[in-house]
Amino acid sequence: MHVAIVGSGPSGLYTADAVARLWPETEIDIFDRLPTPYGLVRGGIAPDHQSTKAVARAFERTLARPGTRFFGNVEIGRDLQYEELKAAYDLVIFSVGAENDRSLGIPGENLQGVYGAAAFVGWYNGHPRHHALEPLLEGSALAVIGNGNVAVDVVRVLAKTQAELADSDICEHAARRIDAARLTDLYLIGRRGPVEASFTPIELAELGELERCEIVVDPAELAVDVGPEVPEKEVKVRQRNLEILRSFALRTGEPKPMRIHVLFHAAPVAILGNERVTGLVLERTRVVDGRAELTGERFELPVETVIAAIGYHTPQIPGVPFDEQRGRFKNDEGWVEPGVYAAGWCKHGPRGVVGTNRTDAGILVKRIAEDLSSHPLPEGKPGSAAVATLLQQRGVHVIDFAGWKRIDTAEIARAQPPKPREKFVTAASLIAAAASELESSL
Ligand code: NAP
């Protein structure tokens, strides 16, 4: 059996692993638009969360399995078409994630100084699509909209000192710009209350451990309890969040030069400014039947940068059935059309942590096996042989696993310890690094 997996992030690689375990003889080709594998593990997980990134070692074993090939720098829809993929492979599994920012849908969203979290995180993580963002960080106040873990990551990275980031793999260009910034007030803004926030306790608690930054929470916002509307499995996490927030609110001590203001019940309604952001208008909300209801009471924050960490959607690929409303591929528990499946965030939207994809991959592959037992595959398809020819004819510079390993080695070699790696951030420099050792050994 020949299987194509499109996207080499956690969902793609856990799916590849599950496929290889169930059908050891399968040839698996893993495509990625970038010259590098690992998706959000490289470009999304915060640079100071190195222990979470260690999962890349397991992913490396998946990529190195005999019978598995990595086709980096190959974009489906540009270098290869969906129809060509279906013609070449018995199974096609999309695991392309959700890399586009959702929009706020409020006036002022297009002003200079407004960024989506995918772009902002991609900038400090050296994603080739976003490395040149050069965000405006010259003001003293910045707002991050959203109460998820991505919003928490963004404020933490901005609040950390260079010493605190020294053993992270934040890109040099971003570390320099954050160091030069004169931010004093970071606003973390939730449109609902502390009970509804989707950040998790470990990530929230980290905000209380910052060297130069204190955390400001209004105790009046915390006079609530986790109610019966919260699903049983989430009660403990929400209670723990409340406890941590209460401990923040009780803190006393020497003032620090920077503050994170945690605001709840505040929905963004407009971003102010002519060309550049000069302020953010928020409207107080109350939570009714789980939804944020506007109260008509508005106030302004004098911020000069706004980062919207409010979720992502999947980009469309020509020919792949797409659910516009949900912003992901149309699918029925992963089934897209005969022989085609979706896994991870392009299947069910942006939720869960890296490990969630492992469980999901097992479920998806079990489902594929059931489908195959009731609808066996037609005659065998050619697999890589067909696509390799097409890619060669089109002059696509494919980066294989060995090419990725050369990039990996070069990035580690050029980092100043204790920094674990200094990433190459453009497609051209990544491709050059993939070829480097090869050329010098010729
Ligand atoms: P998320 O947890 O869904 O958070 C999105 C936030 O945006 C919510 O607070 C949501 O509020 C808010 N929001 C949505 N639309 C809004 C609007 N129009 N105006 C104001 N607020 C709005 O998503 P995420 O933070 O992007 O994270 C994605 C997934 O990655 C999550 O599963 C997360 O746990 C995971 N992740 C994990 C880690 C980690 O483990 N360290 C780090 C980063 C990400 P409502 O709740 O009111 O809709």
Centre of ligand 1 to C-alpha 27, Å, is 36
Output the pLDDT for position 439.
52
Structure tokens at 210: 């910052």
Centre of ligand 1 to C-alpha 198, Å, is 6
Output the pLDDT for position 80.
98
The answer to whether 319 and 82 are in contact (CB under 8 A) is yes
Count of alpha carbons within 13 angstroms of residue 49, beta-carbon side: 23
CATH of 101-312, one of 3.30.450.40, 3.50.50.60, 3.30.450.30, 3.20.20.70: 3.50.50.60
Output the pLDDT for position 10.
98
Pairing of strands 291-301, 277-288: antiparallel
For ligand 1, atom 18, the nearest C-alpha belongs to: 104
For ligand 1, atom 40, the nearest C-alpha belongs to: 353
Output the pLDDT for position 160.
98
Output the pLDDT for position 437.
66
Output the pLDDT for position 438.
55
Looking at ligand 1, which atom is closest to the CA of residue 192?
47
CATH 3.40.50.720 domain extents, the chain? 2-99+314-441
- By CB atoms closer than 10 A (0-12, 13-18, 19+), residue 137 is middle
Ligand 1 pocket, CB under 6 A = 104, 145-151, 153, 190-192, 196, 198, 203, 267-268, 292, 309-311, 350-353
Looking at ligand 1, which atom is closest to the CA of residue 147?
9
Can you list the residues of the chain whose pLDDT is less than 70? 437-442
The arrangement of secondary structure in 2-99+314-441, i.e. its CATH architecture, is: 3-Layer(aba) Sandwich (3.40)
Our mutation pick for probing the ligand 1 site, out of 191, 196, 287, counting the most ligand atoms within 8 A of Cβ, is 191
Our mutation pick for probing the ligand 1 site, out of 99, 198, 291, 307, counting the most ligand atoms within 8 A of Cβ, is 198
Looking only at Cα atoms, what is the longest distance across the chain?
A: 73
Output the pLDDT for position 379.
77
CATH 3.50.50.60 domain extents, the chain? 101-312
